[in-house]
Amino acid sequence: MEKWVVSAKRADFKKIAEQFGIDQVTARIIRNREILGEKAIDEYLHGTLEHLHDPEKMKDMERAVAILQEKIQKKKKIRILGDYDIDGIQSVYILYCALRRCQAEADYAIPDRISDGYGLNQRLVRQALADGVDTILTCDNGIAATAEVALAKELGMTVILTDHHEVPYEEQEDGEKARPPKRRRWPWVLAGLVLVGVFFNLFSRLDQMRQENQNLQMTVANIRSDVNSQIYSITSRVEEVLQSQNALTAEQSAQVTATDYRANTATIEARALPRTYVEGMGAEFVLTSGGESFTVPGELGEDHAYTARTTVPLTDEIAVSVAFLVGEQRQTQVLEEFFSLYSDSFATIQIFGGLGAFIKSSKAVRWTAEFHPVDVYCYNMYGEAVQMERVRVGLFQDQKLVAWFNEEEQSGREGAYVFRMEPDRMELELDSTYCVAAVVEDEFGREWVTVDRSDAVRFTAGGQDRFLDVDYSRDPADWEY
């Protein structure tokens, strides 16, 4: 039976919380992570890109980069083998973007949680061989796949392992277990380093000469969400709101009690008990949503608390305030603010695959594209898979449909779809921008478009441009299909 121990390291948590404007619980977490001293705490809470360390200091970084550079120059096919958890998925995305930016012949594979299980296995190795893969690059796995790595090398493939897990124990002749000697950690790496950070360093090194990694740095800053090391802090803005809420009311609440996604509305109930009730006092509740304002009279209860219930348009910014009225005097206080209610009501759609290798004709009139299978994953704001009413995937030229991909029989996993283009090659026109997009309809009849921006490409007689900064609309009215 496992035994859990509460970590209770000592520090002046109140002082730390006051000095850095954080909660005492957050201060305790920071202390338990062995982050000591004002400088270290400030860097941990407010670190910038200037605090990033030299990627060349990472163990075997130069060796890995040299191998990848050689494979890219020789046009060898590289397959990224990831994992299905958050750090595995994000690492695959980062590395895939990095390799494609370096003009690598790269694709990726993510093991099926049910049929493959975790990490590298012999089926994936043999499938890579059958697909003409020269190099396997693992993300978030491989440290324990000794037999699988040996098989890949025996079949003539190169294997680069990147993994933040520990080396497994080995069984000894006497039956005891021992762990092989640890590779020395980088001196600046905290215990529990997430793999996303590893790949950010690898990408930084690959892209160092081009100085084009600003977008990736922003991406990494937004996805520090590995469950091993996430930490929540209260921002100064929220603290100001909380402090202001203590001024006029003794008790207050505002909550969304119902949503109608077909009508695109939200029903909100609010309650406010004035700190000091005066005979003849009145109250109004003011709700703003999407720039519109709605005023609702407060109903006075026996406990001198005012309540109201109303329906407003569902938007990404809804604010609820109460105004206490005594004679001509009017005092207003914010009760609650709701953000992203509209956006969060839509499923998140992720697209992987689609446009693969591109072959230029000898006459330089057209390019021929090879299509990879397209995997589409749908999940809600809580990360739970959701089934959509309808999902279609198409190849679009300047946001006009060229051809739909054919949907394969589903794997039985909710929210997962696979599409293939038939035939798997197609000539593309010059001076046009192509992308793979999913047209999705949910159970409420709402339809929108999601684009795999990493696969957007524009062809000219002189070459191809990838990773275009195209601001694609999700509104179907802006697309032709």
Q: What's the CATH number where 462 sits?
A: 2.60.40
Helix (H, G, I), strand (E, B) or coil at 402: strand
Residue 84 has what pLDDT? Answer: 81
Say if 15 falls within a structural domain.
no
Same domain, 36 and 120: no
User: Which of residues 376 and 199 earns the better pLDDT score?
Assistant: 376
Domain count, the chain: 4
- Whether 5 is covered by a domain: the verdict is no
- 227 in any annotated domain: no
Please tell me whether residues 202 and 259 are part of one structural domain.
no
CATH number at residue 254: 2.60.40.10
Does the pLDDT at position 90 exceed 50? yes
Helix (H, G, I), strand (E, B) or coil at 186: coil
Q: What is the pLDDT of residue 231?
A: 40
Give yes or no: residues 74 and 106 share one domain: yes
Q: Domain range holding 450?
A: 346-478
Residues 424 and 454 in one domain: yes
In a domain, 6, yes or no: no
Both 253 and 288 in a single domain? yes
Over the chain, what is the mean pLDDT?
79
Q: What is the pLDDT of residues 222-262, one digit of tens each?
A: 544 443 444 444 444 445 544 544 568 889 999 999 999 99
Contacts made by residues 205-210, CB under 8 angstroms, sequence distance 24+: 205/55, 205/56, 205/61, 205/65, 206/65, 206/68, 206/69, 206/98, 206/99, 206/102, 207/98, 207/101, 207/102, 208/55, 210/101
- 154 vs 67, 168, 245, 316, 394, CA distance in Å? 18, 23, 67, 55, 39
- CA–CA separation, 404 and 391 (whole Å): 11
Residue at which a domain ends, from 160, 195, 222? 222
Claim to verify: residue 421 and residue 333 sit in the same structural domain = no
SS3 assignment, position 302: coil
Does residue 453 surpass a pLDDT of 80? no
Same domain as 270, residue 364 = no
Q: Which residues pair with 78 in a beta bridge?
A: 106, 135
User: Given this model, what pLDDT does residue 4 score?
Assistant: 61
Look at residue 198 and tell me whether its pLDDT is greater than 60: no
- Give the residue carrying structure tokens 């700190």: 275
Are both 46 and 58 inside the same structural domain? Answer: no
186 by Cβ neighbours in 10 Å (0-12 / 13-18 / 19+) ranks as middle
Residue reference for tokens 């995937």: 393
- Going by the DSSP 8-state scheme, the letter that residue 8 receives in this structure is -
Per-residue model confidence (pLDDT) at position 298 = 95
Asked if the structure places residue 155 within a domain, the reply is yes
Judge if 74 and 176 occupy the same domain.
Answer: yes
Last residue of a domain, one of 308, 343, 378: 343
Over residues 143-154, the mean pLDDT reads: 88
Does residue 244 share a domain with residue 303? yes
Per-residue pLDDT at 177 exceeds 50? no
Q: Across the chain, which distance is largest between two alpha carbons, in Å? A: 90
Q: In degrees rounded to 5, what are phi and psi of residue 209? A: -70, -30
**Listed residues 198, 222, 246: the one ending a domain:** 222
Asked which of 365-379, 414-428, 454-468 is least confident by mean pLDDT, the reply is 454-468
Percent of the residues in the chain that have a pLDDT greater than 70, as a whole number:
73
395 occurs within a structural domain = yes
Q: Binning pLDDT at 50, 70 and 90, where does residue 265 land?
A: very high
Q: Helix, strand, coil: what percent of the chain each, to 5?
A: 25, 35, 40
Is 96 part of a structural domain of the chain? yes
Which phi and psi angles does 473 have, rounded to 5°?
-80, 145
Are residue 88 and residue 123 in the same domain, yes or no? yes
Give, in order, the Cα–Cα distances in Å from 89 to each of 93, 96, 125, 225, 352.
Answer: 6, 11, 19, 12, 11
| Residue 440 domain flag | yes
Which CATH number do you get for residue 75? Answer: 3.90.1640.30
Whether 171 and 254 map to the same domain: the answer is no
Please confirm whether the linkage preceding 181 is cis (ω < 30° from 0): no
Mean pLDDT, residues 7-27: 82
